[in-house]
């Protein structure tokens, strides 16, 4: 079993200098820009860890690992256009620097390169890997559409919200894990278990994101606390609150959504989240999701000590305060 550092260094050795210095430069400069941003490389790592978990050849997992990172970054480029986001990880977004047209086209070419790297694997594994990846890609686009639709709706249910974040976030983590398993020759039952681990880990991860945006500490999270509240963003917290609040509390919540003073709005909504039990409920939900993820992983049919690293990763996601 290889350490996370070894896996990352194998990955960086192979792709760290792949900076897309290609022509026409107008197309590839934006790709270079986003691919050279520092990131956690969580999807490549999951793919490599999963391959390693099932005794696979990690070298063979490198190309599809890079494909996951390319695909993820492609979605960021297009999502940033749709969300009209100017900054990502402290750096101007692609369309902000290069224009919307270039952002669209650079995203498109990254998607094609993702497919190119994805299929640079042993030939007999290509059809099944592609089937999983195509399904995932379609779900991610559907998730992004749901997200945009929800912003215009008042009556989003928790079930709908969970489906949306499953599609928008979880399925790519789960797909990365499943492809790693498949490449290592894991059977269908084990592929399903590691996929489910990824789904629940992703859900816990996304809800934690919502949670920290409201209940985190500014210095640790690295951004202003309460941003989602100010934007009336349909987070897990707000959706729960809109369902639990009745009568006076519901009126209060609705009034706060229109409230002009930023500090008062953040403090007021946080108070209501506490009063309605939304904070506690959310913590409970994350615990459940984490437990379900752990169970999936524990049921995978390999020696317990081989699961230690993925279990540690799940724990880190669960406990993080940043």
Question: Which parts of this chain interact with a second copy (CB under 8 A)?
Answer: 23-24, 26-27, 78, 81-82, 100-102, 104-105, 107-109, 111-113, 115-116, 119, 123, 126-127, 130-131, 134, 137-138, 141-142, 144-146, 148-149
Q: Is 319 exposed, middle or buried (0-12, 13-18, 19+ CB in 10 A)?
A: exposed
CA distance 86 to 96: 6
Query: Of 148 and 189, which has the nearer Cβ to a second copy?
Result: 148
Using the minimum distance from each CB to a second copy, give the nearer residue, 107 or 226: 107
Question: Of the two residues 30 and 202, which places its CB atom closer to a second copy in the complex?
Answer: 30
User: In the complex, what is the shortest distance from the CB of residue 25 to a second copy, in angstroms, rounded to a whole number?
Assistant: 9
Query: What is the residue whose two structure tokens read 């299929």?
Result: 119
Positions of E strands within the chain: 87-88, 91-92
Helix, coil or strand: residue 122: coil
CB of 151 to a second copy, least distance (A): 11
CB of 51 to a second copy, least distance (A): 20
- Nearest CA to 68 among 45, 85, 86? 45
Q: How far apart, in whole angstroms, are the C-alpha atoms of residue 90 and residue 73?
A: 15
Q: Biggest alpha carbon distance in the chain? A: 63
257 with 235: CB under 8 angstroms? no
**Distance between CA atoms of 318 and 207, rounded to whole angstroms?**
10
**Nearer to a second copy among residue 123 and residue 304 (C-beta):** 123
Task: For residue 252, count other CB atoms closer than 10 A to its CB.
Answer: 15
- Between 164 and 310, CB nearer to a second copy: 164
Question: Cα separation of 319 and 208, whole Å?
Answer: 9
DSSP 8-state secondary structure symbol assigned to residue 83: T
The minimum distance between CB 247 and a second copy, in angstroms, equals: 33
Between residues 52 and 80, which has the closer beta carbon with respect to a second copy? Answer: 80
CB of 195 to a second copy, least distance (A): 19
The least distance separating a second copy from the CB of residue 39, rounded to whole angstroms, comes to 21
User: Toward a second copy, which CB reaches closer, 1 or 112?
Assistant: 112
Q: How far is the CB of 322 from a second copy (least distance, A)?
A: 30
Instruction: Indicate if the alpha-carbon torsion angle 295, 166, 179, 10 is positive or negative.
Output: negative
């Amino acid at each position: 079993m290889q350490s996370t550092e070894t896996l990352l260094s194998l990955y960086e050795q192979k792709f760290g200098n792949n900076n897309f210095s290609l022509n026409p430069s107008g197309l590839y400069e934006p790709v270079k820009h986003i691919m050279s941003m520092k990131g956690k490389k969580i999807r490549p790592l999951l793919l490599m860890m999963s391959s390693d978990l099932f005794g696979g050849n990690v070298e063979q997992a490198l190309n599809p690992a890079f494909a996951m990172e390319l695909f993820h970054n492609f979605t960021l480029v297009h999502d940033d256009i749709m969300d009209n986001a100017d900054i990502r990880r402290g750096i101007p977004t692609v369309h902000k620097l290069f224009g919307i047209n270039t952002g669209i086209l650079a995203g498109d070419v990254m998607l094609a390169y993702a497919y190119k790297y994805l299929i640079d694997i042993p030939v007999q594994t290509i059809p099944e890997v592609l089937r999983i990846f195509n399904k995932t890609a379609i779900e991610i686009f559907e998730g992004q559409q749901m997200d945009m639709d929800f912003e215009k709706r008042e009556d989003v249910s928790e079930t709908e919200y969970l489906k949306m974040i499953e599609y928008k976030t979880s399925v790519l983590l789960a797909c990365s894990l499943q492809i790693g398993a498949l490449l290592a020759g894991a059977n269908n039952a084990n592929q399903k278990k590691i996929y489910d681990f990824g789904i629940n880990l992703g859900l816990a991860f996304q809800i934690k994101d919502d949670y920290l945006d409201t209940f985190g500490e500014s210095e640790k999270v690295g951004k202003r606390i309460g941003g989602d509240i100010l934007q009336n963003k349909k987070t897990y917290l707000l959706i729960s609150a809109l369902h639990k609040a009745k009568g006076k509390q519901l009126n209060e919540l609705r009034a706060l959504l229109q409230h002009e003073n930023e500090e008062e709005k953040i403090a007021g909504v946080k108070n209501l989240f506490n009063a309605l039990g939304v904070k506690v409920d959310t913590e409970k939900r994350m615990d459940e999701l984490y437990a379900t993820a752990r169970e999936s992983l524990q049921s995978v049919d390999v020696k317990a000590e081989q699961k230690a690293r993925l279990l540690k990763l799940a724990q880190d996601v669960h406990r993080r305060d940043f």
